[in-house]
Amino acid sequence: MTDRLTLKGLNQLSQQDFVEILGGIFEHSPWVAELAFKQLPFASVEVLLQSMSDIVRSSSEEKRLTLIRNHPELAGKEADEGTLTEDSKKEQSGAGLNQCSAEELELLRDLNRRYSEKFEFPFVVAVTGLNKHQIIAAMQSRLENNRQDEFATSINEICKIGKIRLDALIDG
């Protein structure tokens, strides 16, 4: 959707339109929007974000793991194949991940591989406002985490991404 939606307009949407518009806030997980719809109307974008984040955080571990796994690798195969969602494409290119040198790309791919092998899910970070060097440093640092901490960090990052996407879509 190219035009920003007002909160009033959002609160008046049918369930189908609500899910269609907000289904991508959490990567390939329209179920979050489906459950959030049941809590209409929202007093603010912040309340909507809190509702959606609470839905994610209170879902089963299996559902949260699937949500994490729905995220693409940074500068990974989805970017190479052109299969990133529009949001992910814009976010990754905004961080300069589409302009990596051959050495940076090789390093990112190695970090993605090591991260996925260790945690069994892709590295997730809200890249908006970060550059490729900060992202690489975060990947290197977070490889030192244990799986439980990294799982929680990934969910927190997903909620940050949700906030960024909601703020870009809806006028408060």
| Confidence check: pLDDT of 82 > 90 | no
Q: Which residues contact 38 (CB under 8 A, 6 or more apart)?
A: none
Residue 144 sits in a domain whose CATH number is: 1.10.3330.10
The whole-number pLDDT of residue 1 equals 42
| Residue 102 forms part of a structural domain | yes
- pLDDT surpasses 70 at 2: no
Q: Which residue has the higher pLDDT, 78 or 29?
A: 29
Q: Is residue 56 part of a domain?
A: no
Q: What is the pLDDT of residue 53?
A: 98
Given 22, 32, 67, 71, the catalytic residue: 71
- Determine the average pLDDT of the residues in 124-144: 97
Using a pLDDT cut of 90, give the percent of the chain over it: 91
Identify whether 133 is a catalytic site residue: no
Which of 61, 20, 65, 67 shows the shortest CA–CA distance to 162? Answer: 67
Start-to-end CA span in the chain (Å): 17
Q: What is the pLDDT of residues 95-117, one digit of tens each?
A: 999 999 999 999 999 999 999 99
How many independent structural domains does the chain possess?
A: 1
pLDDT given at position 80: 86
Residue 142 lies in a domain: yes
Residues 6+ apart with CB under 8 A from 31: 63
